[in-house]
Amino acid sequence: YINNKFQIIKHNISTQQEYVLAEKKVLSNFSWNKNGTIVFASDNFTLWTIQDNGSNLKQIINTSYNLSPHWFNNGDTLIFHYSPDLSTNRKICMYYNGQYLKYIENTGLKFFTPYQTNEILYTEYTDDKVIKKLNLINNNKTDILKTSVLNIQGLAFSKSSVFYSAHSGSLYIYHIPTMSIQQYKYGCFWKSYTHLEISLSGRYILACRENNKTDDGSTYLFWNDIMLLDLETGEEKQLL
């Protein structure tokens, strides 16, 4: 939100240049596929797409209350939450080429991220210490990791690692081949990482870092920073 306008901005990591793709209010995460199509929620949580050169902004789903859209299965299928009352009563929807493929009832789903073909990783409101796997074809569920953290705040997958953040503020990496956990970034209650997204290359994490403090012991201040984390160098940069 810049100069009293909602803007969709593309940031070039190499050149640091930024490009305004459109003036549009965004109510969710972005998901960017290899074909250059970006999906997001806007206008009462309807779903929209735009090309990464700023062209072809259009609404693809006109029903309301669609959350957390993600491209899936190499970017040709879309998955998202549908929550008619914006509560924990949610179902997973699969959408391909203008048609709904499947609805999966899962009233306790909290966070999810694409995993392997036709699979997602997710957490539930009733047990948000456990990261689970769901096969969207046969509905089989499997526990992947029982964490020791309280209240997972973000979830993402890249290559062979699961990234998750906790209410304590820290960011963790679970390396699946070695079944080992690494505390990648240390946080605290007043500086916590949430809403994780992985770049197409798998090298970068885009995260929202929530900051809060009291300036005089009585007034509560709260703001968000958009952070870019380089998984190869460990460098962290504030974009916004």
Give the pLDDT of residue 214. 56
Write out pLDDT tens, residues 203-233: 888 888 776 665 555 554 555 778 888 988 9
The pTM score is 0.82
The Cα–Cα gap between 228 and 201 comes to: 14
Residue 13 CA from chain centroid, whole number: 19
Give the bridge partners for 165, in sequence order.
154, 171
The Cα–Cα gap between 152 and 49 comes to: 28
Give the pLDDT of residue 220. 47
Taken in order 82, 88, 91, 94, the sign of the CA dihedral is: positive
User: Shortest CA distance to 195 belongs to which of 4, 40, 29?
Assistant: 29
